[in-house]
Amino acid sequence: MLDAYLDESGIHNGAKVCVIAGYFGGPGQMKRFEKAWRATLDRYSFPMKDFHAKDLIKSPKRRPMLESLARVAGEQPKIYPVAYGIVVDDFYRFSLDERKFMTGAVLNEKTGKLVTSGCPNKPYFCPFQNIIKIVTGYAPIGGKAHFSFGLGRPFAEYALQLFKQMYKDAEIEKPFNTWHSRDRLGEPFFPRAEETAPLQAADLLVHLLYLHMGEAIQRGEAGDFSFSPSKLALSCMANARDRASDLVYQDWKCLQALISKAKSLAPRWKPI
């Protein structure tokens, strides 16, 4: 079994980037993670219920505490970071069918038809469904990957809707469904973030990466996210299993490569 704790940044209207990020690992490792996170907050006499990364990141006073928490997240044995982000404007440059495909629609390679509908007007479903696939790929054969999202946030409602769509898509048989770990998709859970250390760690990671992508766009480098994130973000990601595959940013060029590959595999597909 695997447990994953995920948070989002940038699903609101007008957001330039959308990022979903968090951590995954075995239940035993997550319990040790929880204990270490709580102990760190106690050392700084900071109430767990008051942890909100978006506000704390702005406070120089809280920097030492955040650095300690980042080390807890980044160095915890067998706890791994995962992230997936897209540039929202780049997503909307694609056609309706292409956006359906990027948000989960299954493509019949023989007929060139989309078997399911995807979510073409919900750009956050592109990183959402891809990060779910990354994590389920690490679950052992015959096992399940369960996912937790913060209760009481808009993302909880979205997550439940998207899980329903993914369960439906997972029923499509091969060869039309290339999501090979779809049988390992477990259940969504919605614990309270103020009581759940891994969700607070996900909150910290996702806001740092959201800022990183936003800075790239402001620098006129929307197609280049290769410059290094902050030291705080790097600390959070120190234990990455496969940084190139598990910590992903997608701009127009990356998404276009995905569409081009799909067209090469299904030459009859003529997206509208």
Structure tokens at 31: 């319990």
pLDDT tens digit at each of 272 positions of the chain = 999 999 999 888 889 999 999 999 999 999 999 999 999 999 999 999 999 999 999 999 999 999 999 999 999 999 999 999 999 999 999 999 999 999 888 888 888 899 888 889 989 889 998 999 999 999 999 999 999 988 666 677 778 887 887 887 777 776 666 788 888 999 999 999 999 999 999 999 999 999 999 888 887 765 556 667 889 999 999 999 998 899 998 889 889 998 998 898 889 999 98
DSSP of 151-211, one letter per residue? TTSHHHHHHHHHHHHHHHHHTSPTTS---TTGGGEEEEE---GGG-HHHHHHHHHHHHHHH
User: Nearest-CA neighbor of 107 among 262, 257, 223?
Assistant: 262
The pair of structure tokens assigned to 254 is 């990356």
Residues 6+ positions from 205 with CB-CB distance below 8 Å: 7, 21, 22, 23, 73, 81, 83, 233, 236, 237
- pLDDT at position 147, please? 96
CA–CA gap between residue 239 and residue 98 (Å, rounded): 34
Q: Which residues contact 83 (CB under 8 A, 6 or more apart)?
A: 19, 20, 21, 22, 131, 205, 206, 209, 237, 246, 247, 248
Global pTM exceeds 0.85: yes
CA 145 to CA 137: how far, in whole Å?
Answer: 9
Region of 136 please: left (phi>0), alpha (psi -120 to 50) or beta: alpha
The sign one gets for the Cα dihedral 245, 136, 202, 79 is negative
Whether the CB-CB separation of 216 and 173 falls below 8 Å is answered with no
Establish how many alpha carbons lie within 13 A of residue 139's alpha carbon, considering only the half-sphere containing its beta carbon: 24
With 0-12 / 13-18 / 19 or more C-beta atoms within 10 angstroms meaning exposed / middle / buried, residue 191 is middle
List C-alpha distances in Å: 257 to 96, 222, 250, 253, 260.
17, 16, 10, 6, 5
Contact 104, 166 (CB under 8 A): yes
